[in-house]
Copies of this chain bind each other. A is one copy, B any other.
Amino acid sequence: MSTTDKALELLRLFTLNQPEIGLSDICRLAGRDKATTFRHLSALESSGLLEQMADTRRYRIGPFVLRLAQLRERSVPRRETVRPVLAHLAEVTGETAHVSLLQGGELVTLAHHEPKVHANRVVIHERALPLHATASGNAVLAFVDAAQRKAAGGDMRAFTDHTTATDEALDRSLCEARRTGFGVSNQGFELGVIGIAAPLFDDSGCVAGSVAVASVSARITPELVALIKAELQQAAQTISESWGGTIPATLTAAWGVAGTDGKDLR
């Protein structure tokens, strides 16, 4: 591991709970020598990545990161960060993958990718997705606050016989989504289509959208569901990170324990 790596690792020690840390604490947390750590900190400080408070001598994240973040936000469109992830998702699952963004209470599709392997595949519409009837919508609703959840309950049109068109049915579905960490829609939006979705988070710390795989129901097997869920986890992780967000601990926990329990889907 290079010295630069070691120095940059120190940045990870700063968190919302502990945004300012002194030299000795940093040494303890990093398990490193004091002289070395001091040099690392000095380097980070001289670059503006860290700054030292004059009075307490503690260190905290410096102003330079703001400039870098601004540059990142202006130069890297979200659609582009998502594209390679969707391509991978579609390829390994053999199904259609898409990412949607929660904008003003609506779920709009940001990008999608269709697999090459199958002749019959799910085609993504460009209009807004109904929150109550889709896997993506459920994945998002399961993690928004009560106000937004309630707002979504206003218009619950039944697209098929399977649509969760009542408040009770939707609540059950969301509860399940929170338990497993995935939103699922078994032909609730379109007959013959099963969707599985994971929520996405951005730098605001809130749900920003979802990544989903829409499969042809005839092809679904427990193994495929397990594969899709595993890949969705990975994809949600990657995309959220590239948006400056983090997957909440409750969600990773849900993913951890849920395992491969897609037997009841068939």
Given contacts A2-B43, A5-B46, contact A16 B66 (CB under 8 A): no
Docked CA distance A54–B2 (Å): 23
Q: Is there an interface contact between A16 and B74, defined as CB atoms closer than 8 Å?
A: yes
Q: Which of A121-129, A162-170, A222-230, A241-249 is found at the contact surface with chain B?
A: A241-249
Number of copies of this chain in the oligomer? 2
Q: How many residues of A contact B (CB 8 A)?
A: 49
**A30 touches B (CB below 8 Å):** no
Which one of B20, B66, B75, B243 contacts A69 once the chains associate, using CB atoms below 8 Å?
A: B66
Query: What 0/1 readout, one digit per residue, does chain A (47-64) give for beta carbons within 8 Å of chain B?
Result: 111010010000011111
Q: Is there an interface contact between B46 and A244, defined as CB atoms closer than 8 Å?
A: no
Docked CA distance A205–B71 (Å): 11
Docked CA distance A7–B71 (Å): 18
Query: What 0/1 readout, one digit per residue, does chain A (138-166) give for beta carbons within 8 Å of chain B?
Result: 00000000000000000000000000000
Distance from A163 Cβ to chain B, minimum over Cβ atoms (Å): 36
Q: Which of A17-72 contact B (CB under 8 A)?
A: 19-20, 39-40, 43-44, 46-49, 51, 54, 60-72
Question: A261 — which chain B residues lie within 8 A by C-beta?
Answer: none
**A220 touches B (CB below 8 Å):** no
**A251 touches B (CB below 8 Å):** no
Which one of B44, B61, B65 contacts A4 once the chains associate, using CB atoms below 8 Å?
A: B44
Q: Is there an interface contact between A66 and B73, defined as CB atoms closer than 8 Å?
A: yes
Q: Is there an interface contact between A4 and B40, defined as CB atoms closer than 8 Å?
A: yes
Docked CA distance A64–B75 (Å): 15
Distance from A9 Cβ to chain B, minimum over Cβ atoms (Å): 7
Q: Is there an interface contact between A66 and B4, defined as CB atoms closer than 8 Å?
A: no
Distance from A2 Cβ to chain B, minimum over Cβ atoms (Å): 5
**A8 touches B (CB below 8 Å):** yes
Docked CA distance A54–B16 (Å): 32
Given contacts A54-B84, A75-B19, contact A65 B63 (CB under 8 A): no
Q: Can you report 7 A-B residue pairs in the complex whose CB atoms are below 8 A from each other?
A: A16-B74, A60-B75, A61-B71, A61-B72, A66-B203, A67-B244, A69-B244
